[in-house]
Copies of this chain bind each other. A is one copy, B any other.
């Protein structure tokens, strides 16, 4: 059913039908006609074609979200926030996943450009890869040129509005809190060396430790993937070959859980033999045993903030919205006697 069929059925012009049904701003249509049109539309089960509307209006109601892996609770929480906020704005969220391959991001941005999405939220953290970052910068520029707006979650290095999670400060606070609990010999599961979020967390953690005179041995800094399995492997290496440590900081919760599993498999008790802390405070992991000390990031709020930022009136300078991260100590890092 098209609008002109409705118009015919109601005995009015296409324009009048359009005005009656859209009915938004200046509803300049006589009440009886309006009723006639609405009834005709109902009778014919008319459903406006959003694509045609988009074309005629010159703007769509799509908001594109780009993540690395939707099954990862970190991203699914952000996605929940983006979904909430975009629905509030009458926008429909489209979700694309890179499957952990940042090199696919520019292509996704180009797709969203073709779709004339109103806004894009890029949730996946940056990597230290100039080539990919340059292509991404270019793709985003193209999107903006076509009239779209953008917000990023992560590191402010793509010349676009960005929600910056205070990874560095949060990790520093965690280091301080652990030190105050009596820990002195630290290990870190550092994640991938080129992963900027992982790097920020590591840097913040080390900075404070150094400040406190407890710099870890280099051999106690173990890189790995940013995943559960990465945490598992890194922890096993640390336990088998590394220097003895009292507490291990995994740069995210999922890795921390992997680390705890590795400890179990190696016959090392947590927290009796070694304490473990993570980062993110993933909701689904709040109930693991022992309860995981971590740094809470309000991920749903991050998603909401990024969405609002992406929809805000464009400014000349890239805006930054900072989101704090607060230490939550639980059973996995008890005070040391």
Chain A: residues with CB nearer than 8 A to chain B? Answer: 45, 47-52, 54-55, 60, 62, 69-73, 76-77, 79-80, 83-84, 87, 92-97, 110-111, 113-116, 142, 145-146, 228, 254, 257-258, 260-261, 264, 282-285, 287-290, 300
Q: A73: which B residues are within 8 A, CB to CB?
A: 71, 73, 76, 284
Known: A47-B142, A71-B76, A92-B96. A258 touches B287 (CB 8 A): yes
Q: Which residues of B contact A289 (CB under 8 A)?
A: 260, 264, 288-290
**Pick from B54, B145, B285: contact of A284, CB under 8 Å:** B285
Residues of chain B within 8 A (CB-CB) of A84 are 97
> Interface of chain A, helix or strand or loop or mixed?
helix
Give Cα A60–Cα B289 distance, bound, in whole angstroms. Answer: 48
Contact of A287 among B45, B70, B288, B290 (CB under 8 A): B288
Ranked nearest first, the 7 interchain pairs of A and B with the lowest CB-CB distance are A76-B76, A71-B80, A289-B289, A50-B115, A261-B287, A50-B114, A95-B95
19 contacts between A and B (CB under 8 A): A48-B114, A49-B55, A49-B114, A49-B116, A51-B51, A51-B55, A52-B55, A62-B94, A71-B77, A71-B283, A71-B300, A72-B76, A73-B73, A76-B79, A92-B111, A93-B96, A94-B94, A228-B284, A260-B287
CA distance A83 to B87 in the complex (A): 20
> What chain B residues lie within 8 Å of A261 (beta carbons)?
287
Name the residue on B nearest A61 (C-beta). Answer: B115
- Whether B55 pairs with A80 at a CB distance below 8 angstroms is no
Copies in the complex: 2
Complex Cα gap A52–B57 (Å): 12
**Residue in A80, A146, A261, A264 with the greatest tally of chain B CB atoms within 10 Å:** A80
B residues in contact with A257, CB < 8 Å: 284, 287
User: Using Cβ atoms and an 8 Å threshold, which residues of chain B touch A76?
Assistant: 70-73, 76, 79
List B contacts of A80 (CB < 8 A).
69-71, 97
A97 / chain B contacts, CB cutoff of 8 Å: 80, 83-84
Interface contact B60-A79, CB-CB below 8 Å: no
A299 to chain B: closest CB distance in Å? 9
Closest to A93 in B: B95
Say how far A207's CB is from chain B's closest CB, in angstroms.
Answer: 30
Contact residues in B for A111 (Cβ distance below 8 Å): 92
A116 touches B284 (CB 8 A): no
8 Å CB contact of A95 from B60, B83, B146, B300: B83
A142, chain B: closest CB distance, angstroms? 6
Closest to A75 in B: B76
- A95, A113, A145, most chain B CB atoms within 10 A: A95
Complexed CA–CA distance, A285 and B284 (Å): 8
Chain B proximity of A220: nearest CB distance (Å): 23
Greatest chain B CB density within 10 A among A51, A114, A260 is at: A51
